[in-house]
Structure 1
Amino acid sequence: MRMRDAYREQMDALNALLGEMCDTVGAEMERATQALLEADLELAEQVITDHDQLAERSAEAEELAFELLALQAPVAGDLRSVVGGFQLVSEIDRMGALALHVAKVARRRHPSRVLPEEVAGYFVEMGRLAVELARNAHQVLESQDYEDALSLMEDDDAMDDLHRHLFTVMMDRDWEHGVASAVDVTLLGRYYERYADHAVSIARRVVFQATGKTPEQLKEAG
């Protein structure tokens, strides 16, 4: 097999594994959100227990990236893609860690429901968006299409809007659920917002890998 073909095959394998990891963190957040909304201790424990599998996949992805560096000696754009692979592993790991945080909040407050009725609907939608962003991140990693990546970045706006509106509910003088509840809701809102931010970071890195430019530079170029 020619060196270029070997590089392409290994790079495709790395991107496929990263895509599978996106599916994993999407499933983690979906289950964590359900555990949060339904005060489901068993489901929260499942997210916490299964999280170790993500660490194993991360180690596998990093090993693939190291092999690409050591065996293929990539240069220029290829080197950019391999180095970006390490950064993508980190972004996906952080998404998984945030889903884990959500599950731990649900476990800590069990058997009580964490979310007051006034804000539960926000988290239904934030959870849905989080799973969709993870799914779209997988698609972007598979296609390596910078236009798909730019579209994912736009999807983050809806999560930011929900996060802002969530604060207006908590700051209302009619809020009657106390400080502890407000702290839980604030932290949870931040977890979902950061989860979306990491999905956007994945998209940004794919844009750079595909074009050698940041999204801002592409926009300036027209």
Structure 2
Amino acid sequence: MRKVFQAELQQVGEEMVQIATLVEEALANASHSFLNADVQEAEEVISNDARIDFLQNQLDERSIDILALQSPVASDLRMIVGALRMSSSLERMGDLARHVAQIARMRFPDHAVPASIEPVFEEMIEHDKIIIAKVIELLETRNLEHVDAISRSKVRINELHRKVFDILASDEWQETAQVTVDATLASRYLERFGDHGVSVARKVTYLVTGDWNISS
């Protein structure tokens, strides 16, 4: 029975990595469609989000079955409860990537944001890409060295998020209300994507050390 239990725990971990990998792909494609007005790619991100949702539900059902049938204790219990919470964060990251793609689709054939502000979004996206890549490595290895990189990228994303609002509030900003709304929402989605990455890192840190203290 113990071997079966350990195999089930390993499968939960593998499914978590699978979801995170799909989220990484969703972010890459959504951001490309956002920056390049690629409506076909945006449509693919939107439709593929259902796969992330399905896998999250499957992982949650498996975790609940383990709780009910195996009655895990101590570190095994923390791992299962942590998986339930981390899967929710990963699913939300997939949703946020979908939201970015939806902005690209709505504005096609125009670009979602004007060229003057694109470099800020490009840098935000690069840091979100670092975060999800490090989250995957963290889930695979539980090497907490990746947590520092996640935290550093999140700090920079916060700075860029504030910069977007400074630009939108400046006298030089002369874009339409719709463009302003799109830029505001896109910045918020990218900022929240990073938040959920930090949340996953915090939970893995707790599983390894018992300490919740990670900067964001």
TM-score, normalised by the number of residues in structure 1? 0.90
- Closer/same/farther in 2, CA of residues 41 and 90 from structure 1, 3 Å limit: same
CA separation in 1, counterparts of 2:128 and 2:148? 17
> Deviations 1:129-148 (Å, cap 9, x if unpaired)?
21221111111111123443
- Closer/same/farther in 2, CA of residues 149 and 71 from structure 1, 3 Å limit: farther
> Deviations 1:17-71 (Å, cap 9, x if unpaired)?
1112111111111111111111111111111111111112112211221232133
Match of 2:52 among 38, 54, 57: 54
Structure 1 position 205 matched with structure 2 position 203: yes
Query: Taking every aligned residue pair, what percent have the same amino acid on both sides?
Result: 30
Q: Which amino acid aligns with 1:37?
A: L
8 Å contact from structure 1 (residues 30, 128) kept in 2 = no
Structure 1 position 95 matched with structure 2 position 93: yes
- What corresponds to 2:37 in structure 1? 39
- What corresponds to 1:157 in structure 2? 155
CA RMSD in angstroms, aligned pairs only: 1.7
**Mapping for residues 79-158 of structure 1, pairs under 5 Å:** 79-158=77-156
Q: What is the number of residues matched between the two proteins?
A: 215
8 Å contact from structure 2 (residues 134, 149) kept in 1 = no
CA separation in 2, counterparts of 1:127 and 1:108? 19
Structure 1 position 13 matched with structure 2 position 18: no
CA separation in 2, counterparts of 1:7 and 1:153? 33
- What corresponds to 2:191 in structure 1? 193
Could you list the runs of 5+ residues in structure 1 that have no partner in the other structure? none
8 Å contact from structure 2 (residues 131, 149) kept in 1 = no
**Residue range with higher mean Cα deviation, 200-209 or 137-146:** 137-146
CA separation in 2, counterparts of 1:125 and 1:20? 26
Q: Which amino acid aligns with 2:174?
A: E
8 Å contact from structure 1 (residues 150, 207) kept in 2 = no
- What corresponds to 1:72 in structure 2? 70
TM-score, normalised by the number of residues in structure 2? 0.93
